[in-house]
Amino acid sequence: MKRWTMIAVGAVLALSACSGSSEQPSPAASSGTSPTAAASAALTPGSSTPAAGQASASGQPCPKGQPAGTYRLEQFAGQGQSGIGVGKGGDATIDFTDGDYVLTSKGDKPFALTVAGKGQADLFVDGTVKGTYTTSGTTRHFKVGTAKGTAYLSNAAGERSALDFAQVASVIGLNGDLAAACSGDRLALAGTAALFSLSKA
C-alpha cells in the first residue's frame, strides 16, 4: 500500500510540475539532446526513447501541412528532469485539422505508466482535449484550449487514485513548443519535458 501511494503521489507531482505555462518549460535534459534530435531519434526502428545525442536519418522534418489527419498516441515519455515517466498503450487518438487538434480517449484501454524510481500503474484517461497549433520550421507550437474528462491511476490490487484532468491534459494533451519529425505513417513530437510517438490511425 505504501509503494502504491508513492506511485500515485509521484505521478501527481510530476503532472503538477509539467502543468505550467509554455513560457516556463521544465528543465531540458542535461545530456544536451535537442527536441529536434529527440523527435528524429524516436522514429528510428526499434527505438522507443532516444539515447543522448542520438539522431536518425529515418526521421525527417514533417512536410508543410503536417501533421494532418488522425493519429493514435502510442507512447509518451518524460525527458530531462520532468519526472513524467513512460506511458505506453492507451486508446487516445489525436485529430489534426488546419491548426486545430482534438485528443480523444475513451478510457477503455489504459496507458501502462512507469514512473522512474516509483513503480508502475495503469493510467486511465476518459475525455477530450481541444487546442490549436501553429508551425514555425520544424517546431509546432501547441496550446491547450479546453480539457474535459476524468483520469485515474490503478494498481494491480485494483486501488484507484484520481488525477486532476487538467494536469493530465497539460502533459498528454500536447502543450508548448514541440519539434516534429515524420517517417511514413509515423509522427514524433518532442519538447523539453516530453516526447510523443504517434502513428496514423
Residues of the chain with pLDDT under 70: 1-58, 81-82
Look up cell 479546453; give the residue: 146
Give the pLDDT confidence score for residue 171 in this predicted structure.
Answer: 81
C-alpha separations of 170 from 2, 33, 105, 146 in Å: 27, 22, 14, 10
Q: Dump pLDDT digits (tens) for 139-165.
A: 999 999 999 999 999 988 889 999 999
Give the pLDDT confidence score for residue 63 in this predicted structure.
Answer: 84
Task: Map residue 26 onto helix, strand or coil.
Answer: coil
Maximum separation of any 2 CA atoms in the chain, in Å: 50
Look up cell 477503455; give the residue: 108
Q: Residue 149 corresponds to which cell in the numbers above?
A: 474528462
Locate all alpha helices (DSSP H) within 133-176, ordered by sequence: 165-172
Give the pLDDT confidence score for residue 4 in this predicted structure.
Answer: 40
Q: How far apart are CA 107 and CA 33, in angstroms?
A: 33
Give the pLDDT confidence score for residue 129 in this predicted structure.
Answer: 96
Give the pLDDT confidence score for residue 2 in this predicted structure.
Answer: 41
Domains (ranges, CATH) in the chain?
2-21+61-200 (2.40.128.280)
Question: Could you check whether the bond before residue 67 is cis, i.e. omega within 30 degrees of 0?
Answer: yes
Q: How far apart are CA 132 and CA 99, in angstroms?
A: 5
